[in-house]
Amino acid sequence: MLDRKYPNIKTPTSSCECDRECGRECNCSYSKNSLENYRLKDSLENDYSRDDSLGNDCPEDDRLESNNIKNEGYVPFKYFQYIIFVLIFCTIIYSKQINGATDNIISQFGFDKNTVGILRWIILSIPLMLMAYYDYKYNSFSFDNIKIFDFVSQEHLLYIVKILGAYSLIYVLSLDLGIGVGSEQFNITKHPIVSFLLFFCMAYVITRGSSEVLIGTLLYFNLRYTLSSSILNRKC
């Protein structure tokens, strides 16, 4: 890859008998100058290698997402990731029913209202905590390990994510500048599913980390629907 981008950088051949570590002079064509070029090539390869956990804009670059991760992709049992997703989305979609039932159970132990709310959030956040732990420890929730590329190609998914991420940035900028948005546009954008997609895509465009962005987006909805019980701060 770098030989095409930097044609003036030469790499020693296998027949060269130079000791590249000490730069010893010899009769071959690669002396100390060639040694420096070789080291420069190595450093450039490191600079151009980029971690891109959702997609790679440079298909020739090696991906670094799973480097140095022991037991990469480990899960305690089959379909663990999908069960975690179901539990998290249930606590968000059916937040009123689940919050109420959890509050009734915790209240029986005589806790005050504020303590009940905190304990409810801790209990209902266990799936999200497990997701963050296994993703940090084993990279178990990367897009590769949850097999999302079995359903959509990496190239197409990355393209869609970039478009939605760009739209999100423009949408926020239009509001900050006071330009405003259309009424139906606003109604569509504030729908929870659309909001989730836009939050994820916008954060990915900025951070370029798929699993971390997914966890951060789920954390936002977790705090809104579980800890705050969908009660919004009207001052914001």
Q: What is the pLDDT along the chain (236 residues), one digit of tens a residue?
A: 444 444 554 444 444 444 444 444 454 544 444 445 545 445 444 444 444 445 444 443 333 344 566 778 899 999 999 999 999 999 999 999 999 999 999 999 999 989 999 999 999 999 999 999 999 999 999 998 998 988 999 999 999 999 999 999 999 999 999 898 898 999 999 898 999 999 999 999 998 888 999 999 999 999 999 988 767 776 55
In terms of Cα–Cα distance, which of 195, 146, 138, 140 is closest to 172?
Answer: 195
Q: Residue 73 in 3-state DSSP?
A: coil
pLDDT of residue 202: 94
Q: What is the pLDDT of residue 3?
A: 45
Q: Are 55 and 154 in contact (CB under 8 A)?
A: yes
Whole-angstrom Cα distance, residue 36 to residue 230? 61
- 234 and 100 in contact (C-beta within 8 Å)? no
Output the pLDDT for position 129.
97
DSSP state of 216: H
Indicate the pTM of the whole model.
Answer: 0.68
- Residue 161 CA to residue 54 CA, distance in Å, equals 10
Q: Where are the domains of the chain?
A: 2-48, 80-227
Q: Check if the beta carbon of residue 52 is closer than 8 Å to that of residue 155.
A: no
Residues 6 or more apart in contact with residue 166 via CB below 8 angstroms: 205
pLDDT of residue 71: 79
Q: Apex CA 230: angle with CA 228 and CA 232, to 5°? A: 80
Provide the b/e sequence for 158-195 (b: ≥16 CB within 10 Å).
beebbebbeebeebeeeeeeeeeeeeeeeeeeeeeeeb
